Amino acid sequence: MSTRASKLDNTIFAGHLLSGPYERVFLAPGQEGRYIRNYIDFYDGIVEYDFRIAEYFNLRVVGLQSVLGHVSLVVIEPENFEKLPAFIRDTQMMYVVDSIEAVYEIARAKGIPILQPRTENIMGAQGRLELAPGYITELAEATNTALFDPKVESMGLPASQA
């Protein structure tokens, strides 16, 4: 284990990171219930948000947070997953920031490719950059507070096994 401490101020997110990182996980419908339940039970997790994006095959996005790490879970039919734009399908990490454009300004200055311009969406806005070939990072502005803190008991999750 390294003894060197990494500092947020030395990153492209300096002054703009609100939450993250979130690992991106894709599951088929029917798999998400047990995943969410186990995340809550075994990682002391909380459900941060739960919403659907109609323009992308009505896929479902569930944000999960834990002291052990965060997840941005996307639930989509396998045949529709293949139809997603590559920059969405290949996203591996997400960060919530206060300003996508401010992070883009830093990224551009460092030569990091911007794959998706800031695009408004149900959560607020999103964008994507490519940290390295094939490693796509989503940036999100989470301004639609109505999506946050859903009632877990109304999500139809399986019974706890804890």
pLDDT tens for residues 98-137? 999 999 999 999 999 999 999 999 999 999 999 999 899 9
CA distance 21 to 79: 28
Note if the pTM is more than 0.85: yes
Domain range list for the chain: 16-147
Tokens of 37: 């339940």
At 161, the pLDDT band (50, 70, 90 cuts) reads confident
**CATH architecture of residue range(s) 16-147:** Roll (3.10)
How far is residue 138's CA from residue 159's CA, in Å, rounded to a whole number?
Answer: 32
Query: Rounded mean pLDDT of 136-160?
Result: 91
